[in-house]
Amino acid sequence: QVQLVESGGGLVQAGGSLRLSCAASGRTFSSYTMGWFRQAPGKEREFVAAISWSGAYRDYADSAKGRFTISRDNAKNTVYLQMDNLKPEDTAVYSCAVARGSRIYTGVREYDYWGQGTQVTVSS
């Protein structure tokens, strides 16, 4: 059974940093793009960042560019999201996901497997 488990969320003051991790199990995802999404209360889930299977290609939402960095360790079947200079508007539940292929995808429907998410709260 495929399982994605996120960790690293928490409460941080504006300007602070957090590093999210997502450990995958049940199969190997080294050939697939992986991504991070977030959902704030009352809002739709939105794309944050994606990374290709090799790590050579990455894409970020405009809101994440220059502040967030996505990376992966295929040997550990784990993807990371380093978040710096956090803002109150970054408050959301962050979820990782595995895409259906090896291209860079930004749409929710292009991801097949999802974790339960980890809460990130940024206070002002």
Amino acid 59: pLDDT: 98
pLDDT digits (tens, 9 = 90+) for 32-84: 999 999 999 999 999 999 999 999 999 999 999 999 999 999 999 999 999 99
Banded pLDDT at 29 (limits 50, 70, 90): confident
pLDDT digits (tens, 9 = 90+) for 74-99: 999 999 999 999 999 999 999 999 99
Amino acid 39: pLDDT: 98
**118: β partners:** 94
Amino acid 27: pLDDT: 78
Distance set, CA 75 to CA 20, 31, 80, 112 (Å): 17, 12, 13, 21
pLDDT digits (tens, 9 = 90+) for 109-122: 999 999 999 999 99
Flag whether pLDDT at 30 surpasses 90: no
Flag whether pLDDT at 2 surpasses 90: no
Parallel/antiparallel/unpaired status of strands 118-123 and 10-13: parallel
Amino acid 120: pLDDT: 98
**119: β partners:** 93
